[in-house]
A and B are shown apart, each in its own frame.
Chain A
Amino acid sequence: MLCGGERFDLARTGLARTERLNGWMFIMPALVLLGVFMIYPILWSLWMSFQVGRGMNLSFGGFANILRLTQDPVFQRALSNTFIFLIVQVPIMLVLALIFATMLNDSKLWGRSLFRTAIFLPCVTSLVAYSVLFRSLFLADGFVNDFLLGLHLISEPIPWLADPFWAKIVIIMAITWRWTGYNMIFYLAAMQNIDRSIYESAKIDGVPTWARFWYLTVPMLKPVILFTSVISTIGTLQLFDEVNNIPPNAGGPSDATLTLSLYIYNLSFRFMPSFGYAATVSYVIVILVGILSYFQFMVVRDKRR
């Protein structure tokens, strides 16, 4: 309180103007760079989204691209795949991260930092490295099938990357493998902030572990859970690297792992270039992120205040 009062006094003694100036000075380098390297490309793509035509033979098409969206079965496939990844993978990953974080938050646990490092390790792998890894692990004669066959868990090799259903599963496993530890760190960090005395008194009152987790930990972590789900939502809606690199034919088999971001890439660089239509699809992602994040952010904000 005392500090707050002092600051108030300082502000009154005429430093407010310097603050304003400093505010801009500190931000200026970033703003200039963003202006050059973000605003111009964004305006360009916005303008492009109203253009139709092949390659560089473009003409103004008004809302033709939006109309095309509604009739495009491939777009709809990409949209539904993206949502499947979002709905299935994000909760699995976040729940796992939460479970690991809860376990590792126990100061009496032996080997904490060892486990923490191990589980965090996957997210430092380079994309190319991890694509190579997953692609070869899940080959028809690859290690995973050999392992499962050896344990007699399966009787014949699973066609991991050749089958539309299993390919989705591989992608989900790959993303989960890579990003669970990353999210876990956010939870672990937030758990450090929970007042330990609440736990202690709950323990003394005989509240069981699961109830402590459900009624104490989860509500207090809600803001962070929402924060991670916003980040994961953006990440999943932009999902490109994994689906472009892990399946032998990007987005395959039979478009089972085609995502919106990959479709944009195909429209721009693999197919007869339709840069205008590609830009339109990318604004679909922006709108989806906008809507989903808006709700998520609103909840975060309410809980934190």
Chain B
Amino acid sequence: MPNKLNGLRTLVGAATLGASVLAMTSALAGEVTVWCWDPNFNGATMLEAAARYAADHPDFTINVVDFAKADVEQKLQAQLASGTTDGLPDIVLIEDYRAQKYLQSFPGSFEPLGGAIDTSKFAPYKVELASLNGQSYSVPFDSGVTGFFYRTDYLADAGYSEADLQDITWDQLIEIGKAVEAKTGHKLLSVDINDSGIIRIMMQSAGTWYFTEDGQVNIEGNAAFKTALGAWQRVLQSDIYKPTSGWTDYTGAFASGEVAGTITGVWITATIKANPELAGKWGVAPIPKIDFEGATHASNLGGSSWYVLASAPQKAEAIDFLKEIWASDVDFYQKILIDQGAFGTLTEARNGPAFQASDAFFSGQPVWQNFTSWLAEIPGVNYGIFTEEADTAVAAQLPVLKDGGDLDEAIKQIDAQVKQQTM
């Protein structure tokens, strides 16, 4: 087979000479290729970083390629599995939930960065997520620290001030929701009823996860998980939210002013700010707490980090670039916070002016300082390698719970499915 393929390769090679010459010239230039998924968000921050680096390194060029997030993941997975390193980028953005899956199932594919980059400068929980066997593999990008984003005007009409939203439980949130609808006619939340994101938020706020530290399934018998799922079932059965499906529908509900808020990660800021006419009418409160010993008002949803491929043609340059900008430039983090709403996790950056400032869009609240202090309180958990599978199993039970299904039975089903899928 290899011989035949080589013969064909020569043939094909002759036919593609033109194309190859073009490819060669771009390779010689030492271009660093980056894969990420949102040209308005992480793509834009990468370009900003590159511009800063290029100021001191005139030869530096970058090629930021954006695909849909699921597409980036699929391309990466297909390519790592094929064993072909041709065409892999130098740097790739990976969501934290998936990091361990890639690190563990494709050993040797990612470059350990612990030696080159001082990871102690980043929020420890981010570093841990991308560590394996004592090695750290990522330069942390954004945090998914969570908050309750709400319309100050609607809540005020219903008689709630900022102070009333501190230290509440999920059941109190339901009461607030009822009052808001009664007084203003607006639902409190926009909820994608088939998304298990909220369950992840609740779990992490109580320091638990689908899996134990050593990777065992931790669902049936996990009291914190049961408390979380039960609290969410009560929300689902209440009438305080607008059920939506999919991202556009979900964001459309609060962007249009139809609902009064949402509970999600800090990265939603850019989407909320995309409606400038609502400036001054938004605020951010801590998320409600589940009724469980040790639960907090701080959690995380999503967030991602930059990884360097071990096969990267411009490995040294890519690492130096990440080190100089992403791991040191405090000013850069102020810029992307203001321009893209990207909440970086470099600890020093927190003392910069943008993080200290209060935000007029958010009714003058010191939102970035708040997020910073919540970030410090996020309980660390190990996402393990099967979060996607567990999410699917949870999502499958959400409609059942919404229709009044038995909580214990649902947990049993989730547990069975996850155990089967992860064996």
A/B: CB atoms within 8 Å of each other: yes
Q: Of residues 229 to 246 in B, which have CB atoms within 8 Å of A's CB atoms? A: 242-246
Is the CB–CB distance between B1 and A40 below 8 Å?
Answer: yes
Bound complex: CA of A136 vs CA of B247, how far in Å? 11
User: Nearest Cβ in chain A — how far from B378, in angstroms?
Assistant: 25
Is A272 interfacial (CB-CB < 8 Å)? Answer: yes
CA distance A227 to B25 in the complex (A): 52
Interface residues of A in 49-82 (CB under 8 A from B): 54-57, 68, 71-74
Q: Are B104 and A55 in contact (CB under 8 A)?
A: yes
Inter-chain contact B417/A55, CB cutoff 8 Å: no
Given the known inter-chain contacts A55-B104, A248-B247, A249-B194, please indicate yes or no for A254 contacting B395, CB distance below 8 A. Answer: yes
Nearest-CB residue, chain B, relative to A255:
B396
Smallest beta-carbon distance A168→chain B, Å: 13
Do the beta carbons of A73 and B194 come within 8 Å of each other? no
Is A122 an interface residue, CB under 8 A from the partner?
A: no
Q: Which residue of B is nearest A136, CB measured?
A: B248
Q: Answer whether residue B249 sits at the interface, using C-beta atoms and an 8 A cutoff.
A: yes
Report the minimum CB–CB distance from B50 to chain A (whole Å). 29
With A253-B194, A254-B399, A269-B78 in contact, do A159 and B245 touch (Cβ < 8 Å)? yes
Which residues of chain A (158-179) have a CB below 8 Å from chain B?
159-164
Contact B420 A73 (CB under 8 A): yes
Closest to A43 in B: B1
Q: Which A-chain residue is minimally distant from B413 (CB atoms)? A: A73
Q: Does A275 contact B (CB under 8 A)?
A: yes
Interface: A140 (CB within 8 A): yes
**At the interface, yes or no: A181 with Cβ under 8 Å from chain B?**
no
> Which chain A residues border B317 with CB–CB below 8 Å?
none
Name, among A40, A68, A71, A140, the residue most crowded by chain B CB atoms within 10 Å (CB to CB). A140
Q: With an 8 A cutoff between CB atoms, is B6 at the interface? A: no
Report the bound CA distance from A263 to B257 in whole Å.
37
Q: Is the CB of A161 within 8 A of B396?
A: no
CB-defined interface of B241-263 with A at 8 Å, one 1/0 digit per residue?
Answer: 01111111100100000000000
**Most B CB within 10 A of own CB, among A57, A136, A253:** A253
Determine whether the beta carbon of A272 is less than 8 Å from that of B422.
Answer: yes
Query: CB within 8 A of A163: which of B77, B247, B399?
Result: B399
Q: How far is the CA of A68 from the CA of B419 in the complex (A)?
A: 12
Interface contact A140-B244, CB-CB below 8 Å: yes
Specify which of B4, B70, B81, B389 is in contact with A271 (CB 8 Å cutoff): B389
Contact string against B for A residues 240-284, beta-carbon threshold 8 Å, 1 for contact and 0 otherwise: 000000011110111100000000001011111101000000000
Q: Least Cβ distance of A277 to chain B in Å?
A: 10
**Cα–Cα, bound, A55→B4 (Å):** 28
Check B420–A253 contact: CB distance below 8 A: no
Q: Shortest Cβ distance from B140 into chain A, in angstroms?
A: 23
- B101: chain A residues at CB < 8 Å are 272
Complex CA distance for A164 and B245, rounded to whole angstroms: 11
Known: A71-B420, A162-B243. Contact between A269 and B73, CB under 8 A? yes
The B-contacting residues of A in range 208-261, CB under 8 angstroms, are 247-250, 252-255
Q: Is A36 an interface residue (CB 8 A)?
A: yes
Known contacts A56-B106, A254-B397; A271/B420 CB under 8 A = no
- Residues on B with C-beta less than 8 A from A40 are 1
13 contacts between A and B (CB under 8 A): A55-B80, A56-B105, A140-B243, A160-B245, A163-B399, A248-B192, A248-B245, A252-B194, A252-B395, A271-B388, A272-B386, A272-B422, A273-B105
Residues of A within 8 A of B (CB): 36, 40, 54-57, 68, 71-74, 135-136, 139-141, 159-164, 247-250, 252-255, 266, 268-273, 275
Which B residues are closer than 8 A to A by beta carbons? 1, 4-5, 8, 70, 73-74, 77-78, 80-81, 83, 101, 104-107, 192-195, 242-249, 252, 385-386, 388-389, 392, 395-400, 416-417, 420-423
Q: A36-B5, A254-B400, A269-B78 are in contact. List 4 more A-B contacts (CB 8 A).
A: A162-B193, A253-B395, A254-B397, A268-B81
